[in-house]
């Protein structure tokens, strides 16, 4: 008998629905977050060094996430009392108040819904990140091992980039906004037929946008 397959929502899927107890009271997901972006992330355990550093880093950027109409929700397979005491310790010892909710998933039900437990990495949740849009659709999934803390600036970049892509119907280049080829500019969808390709290069001569070739055009927002 092989190991049971872990179900994971895929990109483009609707995020699973759930109700949960958190450090800020009960939540119903996604109903309580309709119209907002959400970063739902799991951590292996409370009262651990790397997780503590991550929560401080998330809180330091909490206002930036809020400006993007984006909520943070933490989760681990711990009881709510453990979350509360850990948050109190962070406030007392480090001077940081954790303002976003932490889900108490002590039975692992929500972690199972989102594929946050990987049997070969133990019984705790791995460092998972789900970026979910205002329609409840999964837009990004990230996994990190227990020994490597996340880069919160990259998660902020992901939310910003997805919002810009949605609003302007453009693609976001590597390392944006510091791309090695086009800096902070964004990429236009490529032409999908010969006539459109020819027209694309003609339009580029007006200065409306720039092109390396018909399939690689870009512009400043």
Read off the pLDDT of residues 44-100 as tens digits, 9 standing for 90 and up. Answer: 999 999 999 999 999 999 999 999 999 999 999 999 999 999 999 999 999 999 999
Domains in the chain, start-ordered, CATH in brackets?
Answer: 18-151 (3.40.30.10), 169-221 (3.30.1020.10)
Residue 141 vs residues 19, 47, 128, 177, 214: alpha-carbon distances, Å: 21, 25, 7, 21, 31
Tell me which of 51, 70, 211, 217 is the catalytic residue: 51
At residue 7, the pLDDT reads: 60
Q: What percent of the chain has pLDDT over 70?
A: 97
Q: Find the mean pLDDT for residues 115-139.
A: 92
At residue 123, the pLDDT reads: 78
Q: What are the φ and ψ backbone dihedral angles of 153, each rounded to 5 degrees? A: -65, -35
Say how far apart CA 221 and CA 218 lie, in whole Å.
10
Q: Find the mean pLDDT for residues 15-37.
A: 96
Q: Would residue 51 show up in a list of annotated catalytic residues for this protein?
A: yes
> Which runs of consecutive H residues, i.e. helices, occur in 136-193?
152-168
Q: At residue 112, does pLDDT exceed 70?
A: yes
> Which runs of consecutive H residues, i.e. helices, occur in 99-218?
109-113, 152-168, 194-204
Q: Find the mean pLDDT for residues 19-48.
A: 97
Read off the pLDDT of residues 181-203 as tens digits, 9 standing for 90 and up. Answer: 999 999 999 888 999 888 888 88
């Amino acid at each position: 008998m092989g190991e049971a397959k872990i179900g994971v929502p895929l990109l483009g899927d609707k995020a699973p629905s759930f109700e949960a107890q958190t450090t800020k009271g009960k939540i119903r997901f996604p109903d309580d977050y309709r119209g907002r972006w959400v970063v739902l992330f799991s951590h292996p355990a409370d009262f651990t060094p790397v997780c503590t550093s991550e929560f401080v880093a998330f809180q330091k950027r909490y206002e930036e996430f809020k400006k993007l109409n984006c909520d943070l929700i933490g989760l681990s397979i711990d009881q709510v009392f453990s979350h509360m005491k850990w948050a109190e310790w962070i406030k007392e010892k480090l001077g940081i108040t954790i303002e976003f909710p932490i889900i108490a998933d002590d039975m692992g039900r929500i972690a199972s819904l989102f594929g946050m437990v990987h049997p070969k990495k133990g019984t705790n949740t791995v460092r998972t990140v789900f970026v979910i849009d205002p329609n409840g659709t999964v837009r990004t999934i990230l996994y990190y091992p227990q020994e490597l803390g996340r880069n919160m600036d990259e998660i902020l970049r992901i939310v910003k980039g997805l919002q810009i892509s949605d609003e302007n119907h453009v693609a976001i280049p590597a390392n944006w906004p510091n791309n090695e080829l086009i800096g902070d500019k964004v990429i236009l969808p490529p032409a999908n037929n010969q006539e459109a390709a020819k027209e694309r290069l003609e339009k580029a001569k007006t200065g409306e946008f720039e092109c390396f070739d018909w399939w690689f055009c870009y512009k400043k927002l």
